[in-house]
Chains A and B, each alone.
Chain A
Amino acid sequence: MGAAKRIRADLVNFGRSYTRSRIGLFFGLAFPVILILLFGAIFSGSGSPATVYAQNQDNGPVGLQFLQALNDTGALQVTLVPTSQNFSQYLLSHSSSDGIVVPPSFTASYEAGIPVNVTEYWNPSSSTSQGVFGITSGVLNAFNLQRAHGTSVLGVQRTTIASSSYTYIDFLIPGMIGFAILVSPMFALVNISAQYKRDKIFKQLSLTPLTKTDWLLAKIGFYMIMTIISFLLMSAFGIFAFGAHITFTPWVIPFLLLGPFMFVSLGMLVGTVSTSVESAAVVGNLITFPMMFLSGTFFPVSTMPAYLQNIAHVLPLFYVIQGLNNVMIYGNDTAAVTDIAVLAVLSAVIFILAVRFFKWRED
């Protein structure tokens, strides 16, 4: 078939130019890897324990035992402040809002069974403070229990929804794959389409048997290949550098194909309706960046206010990321079918619009 042959010729030709351009290679291959390394490094492991300053004004042994127990939880790193210092002043001078003060009569009260409180300095807006409060309360309860010679009956064991032990990075990976699916074809096509128009390359190509649909399909094919490569690269770096758990299910494939189909078409549409390369870049960014942040790339859509969630539901990237989460994290393939269907319809609409507005020859 003639069209298939032309599309293949254009794809090969485009791919060759692409591998020779540093910008293309950076966005296509290096950028997704940098992304995974950066976010992996930020969120890998359980994080270092929060530092909390403590002043022990107690003249018996229990105050010290209590602070020792706090430190032993591993979640807090307790730093003792000498009693000669003004504690709140000390916290300020160390730019810290988290501190614990054990009162002078702590041991005496503990032994006599008189209620006594430790004082916790906190910052209501800090999540660290919430953690410090929780841990402090927990350790105090243990002390109360011990004093009453009780034994604990109820306990908590932590696990994750999936069978193996997932780490934080595993939850980030679908978002980052979605990010790569969006950014690389979108930026490239916005730029290429506006540039080819300026340099009259489309006009030149319109004088060959290549049609504008052939041209766009060749770009879609190329970015499908690039997306699969960058998916494999991101997975490889995630696994080897951070021990990420990647679910290699065939269900990711529709997203790796529909994503580029969607964003190549969208990039083309933006570039083709813009009057200059510069305005195309601006419009491209105006679409790309809000979509990136509102579609659940870096934080779940469910944490956003309702009106923003409504916006998210019309963004194509939302369905890519939600779908990838469904198949990679939750193994919920049935829910992913809906995402695939929505994405397929949206992509088809954008593709048709892109072909429709794409001016190959003038009138």
Chain B
Amino acid sequence: MAAIEVSSLKKAYGSLQAVNSISFDVKEGEVFSLLGPNGAGKTTTIEILEGLRERDSGEVTVLGLDPWKDGEALHKRIGVIPQGFTFLPYITPREAVNYYASLFDVKVDADEILRKVILEESASSRFMKLSGGQKQKMGLALSLVNEPDLVFLDEPTTGLDPQARRAVWEVIRNLQHEGISVLLTTHYLEEAEELADRVAIMNKGVIITAGTPKEIILEYGSGERIRVHGDSELATYLKKQTGLEVSYSDNSVTVVLRKKEDTLTVLEAIARSGLHWSDVTVRNDSLEDVFVKLVGSRMTEGGQEAPVN
């Protein structure tokens, strides 16, 4: 059974079609990531799945429930960190976990949960004194109080420094090992590539493509390339010798590889050329390269679209 099934989901705010007929599913125990710039419709989608917003049309099933109609039953089985998680300023993580436990009417070991999210050292600090990363970890701790089968993380690392981001990733990986399904939205492509089993790239209310990062890169990427520092003479020589697609710009020659063995052919040809060469690199497209290609823009730190130059 799938943890989440969405088909033809639509939601408009006035004349703005925030989510325009999207379909996807999240398997049990999978980390699934919705990727896209601000305004792509990620948060609207996730809030509909959490039962916080009503959909206009489409079929949505979360853990076998309709999130809007069966919200109460669903909330007992999911964990959520909303975007930009904040909490009561004077409460400590341990108190917050115990507070949630009494609201859910479950018995928990608060310290055990805080250990799980690597926050045990700040268990008694007030929320307002915690760092950005610690606040997010407290949000993660709260989302785990009711032992959820599915966790929604809406941009859990936005605005965190790289070290804090990695710490949050570690916690998310632990969830994955415990078999908890995770729906993660992010605008850090690196984060999705690192954590997600499958991703869906979303822009302007529609899903452009979905699959494992590898599949997407394979389908939309430009393939593996060798880049070598050299002049146009080298480019011409390599094209003639290998018969591969070669391009030249700014003292840099790029050869697109068709299969693994092409690597050796190209390197051999470079060595034989007798021309001046240096700095050989082999690289493949990252999810980010593909994203730029598909969405037509790069994302900034804040998730804003920035035109590619």
Contacts and interface: CB of A to CB of B under 8 A. Distances in A.
A204 B100 CA distance: 11
Nearest to B76: A209
B53 A361 contact: yes
Contacts of B89: 17
A201 B87 contact: yes
B91 A200 contact: no
Interface stretch (A6-14, A28-36, A55-63, A154-162): A6-14
Contacts of A210: 103
A207 B103 CA distance: 10
B220 interface: no
A199 B91 CA distance: 15
A362 B47 contact: yes
B88 A17 contact: yes
A199 B84 CA distance: 8
B113 to A, nearest CB: 15
Interface string B33-74: 000000000000001001111100000000000000001100
Given A13-B95, A20-B90, A201-B86, A207 B102 contact: no
Interface string B106-150: 000000000000000000001000000000000000100000000
Contacts of A208: 75, 100, 103-104
A209 B84 CA distance: 22
A363 interface: yes
Contacts of A212: none
B99 interface: yes
Contact of B105 (A2, A201, A203, A204): A2
B50 A362 contact: no
Contacts, number: 68
A140 to B, nearest CB: 68
Task: Assign chain A's interface to a size class.
Answer: 20 to 34
Interface residues of B, number: 30
Contact of A209 (B50, B87, B95, B104): B104
B237 interface: no
A206 interface: yes
A14 to B, nearest CB: 8
Contact of A20 (B52, B80, B126): B126
Which of B84, B88, B90, B102 has the most chain A CB atoms inside 10 A of its CB?
A: B88
B82 interface: yes
B106 to A, nearest CB: 10
B248 interface: no
B75 A200 contact: no
Contacts of A201: 86-88
A94 interface: no
B84 A200 contact: yes
Which of B51, B54, B89, B99 has the most chain A CB atoms inside 10 A of its CB?
A: B99
Interface in B220-260: none
B274 to A, nearest CB: 66
Interface in A15-33: 16-17, 20-21
Interface in B282-301: none
Contact of B99 (A2, A13, A207, A361): A13
A204 B85 contact: yes
Contact of A361 (B71, B104, B105): B71
A363 B54 contact: yes
A206 B86 contact: no
Contacts of A10: 99, 103
Contacts of A313: none
Contacts of A147: none
Interface string A342-363: 0000000000000000000111
Which of A6, A13, A210, A363 has the most chain B CB atoms inside 10 A of its CB?
A: A13
Interface of B: 47, 50-54, 71-72, 75-76, 78, 80, 82, 84-91, 95, 99-100, 102-105, 126, 142
Interface of A: 2, 5-6, 9-10, 13, 16-17, 20-21, 199-201, 203-204, 206-210, 361-363
